[in-house]
Amino acid sequence: MNNFEKKKRNQFDFFRNRIYNQLRKIMEMNQELETATFAGGCFWCTEAVFLAIEGVKSVRSGYIGGLTQNPTYKEICNGDTGHAEAIEIVFDPNTISFGELLELFFATHDPTTLNRQGNDIGTQYRSEIFYHNENQKQLSLEYISILNHENTFGKLVVTQVSLAPIFYPAETYHSNYYNLNKTQSYCNYVITPKMEKLKKVYSDKLKK
């Protein structure tokens, strides 16, 4: 192998190793991420809350916990599918823990009203945690037990805890709905006050 060929080989090895290291870092980062799935009323609300939280990498709105395959928003609104409006959160547990996400979940919706959040009524608006592992299940059950023991809300928490089944992503126009439609009446009346409360009470957990 002459000098020119050696130089080319060294350059190839350098870029190959660089690409390999970058891919390894991406894989390691993805392995460290976890998923949480919450149903707490209209997913426009819950999505807006968790998109603002430091350590949350992504939030998808969707449908979960029912019988209908590939449900549509129209079908969900009729309340006939058994699905709940929910969000699937991908988060970095090194930045924010599942326990902290639970705290935010319970602080930003009413977990004491069965199949209802404010004027939104129906099983699709139920409060439910869909766990992805045994740790999430136990933390959720313990958290609810503490809330009820301390009578935090003055009423019993009716939030269900269930194993996460198939999550069906919602139609694309629901993605980042609040941030793209803040002047819409529902967003302005229901979600904006919730976001203002979030900024006041949990400013330390918000993305900078």
Active site residues per annotation: 42
- Count of other CB atoms within 10 angstroms of residue 99: 14
Q: How many Å apart are CA 112 and CA 114, to the nearest integer? A: 6
* Secondary structure (3-state) at 55: coil
**Residue 16: how many other CB atoms lie within 10 Å:** 10
Q: Which two tokens stand for residue 37?
A: 């799935």
Q: Are 53 and 207 in contact (CB under 8 A)?
A: yes
Taking CA atoms, 113 is separated from 16, 40, 109, 120, 127, in Å, by 57, 10, 10, 11, 8
Amino acid of residue 51: L
CA–CA gap between residue 204 and residue 208 (Å, rounded): 9
Is residue 40 within 8 Å of residue 46, measured between CB atoms? yes
